[in-house]
Amino acid sequence: DPDDWGRFLIAVFEEWVNNDLGRVQVNLFETAVAQTLGMPAQICTHSEFCGKGLAIEKNGDIYSCDHYVYPEYQIGNIANTPLSHLAFSERQKAFGMGKRDTLPKYCQACPYLKMCWGECPKNRIVRAPDGEAGLNYLCPGIKAFFNYAEPMLVGLATLIKRDYSGLKR
């Protein structure tokens, strides 16, 4: 349930901020702080593009992503083609660019676009309020999380910037 997902993220974020910050890494939250600082996302689900995390099977088959280990997303086999050729192929680039290029207008207008980027394309299985296909089914929970966390993310980013500027003196 998307709302449960949002409540879960908020509860874990509160725990992290209050008790674990600097001691326990939670990739989603670390990425949100980094993005608030203007840095790129550290995880593919919140990056503008995807396709950097190829999946390899024991027989050498390479897939565009570990969430897409299906025949139509097999881009080759390392027994026949160097991994670098597969990773930087036009087909793989198109897969990665598709994450941004297929966002519904609802996402493009969202205040949290640059934090979320529609999350994982595999989760884009519902329609936006305007009826356009391709909305992430977790969107309401993700938006609730960012709406709640944004002031704290800005505060954390400010503290980090202050510490970094102090190091430069």
**DSSP one-letter string for 38-94:** TPPPSSGGGSSS---S-EE-TTSEEES-TT--SGGGEEEETTTS-HHHHHTSHHHHH
Task: Report the C-alpha gap between 65 and 70 in whole angstroms.
Answer: 10
The strand pairing partners of 63, in sequence order, are 55, 74
- By CB atoms closer than 10 A (0-12, 13-18, 19+), residue 95 is buried
DSSP state of 148: H
List 1, 20, 66, 130, catalytic entry: 66
Strands 61-63, 74-77: parallel, antiparallel or unpaired by DSSP?
Answer: antiparallel
66 belongs to the catalytic site: yes
39 and 26 Cβ atoms separated by less than 8 Å: no
Residues belonging to the active site: 66
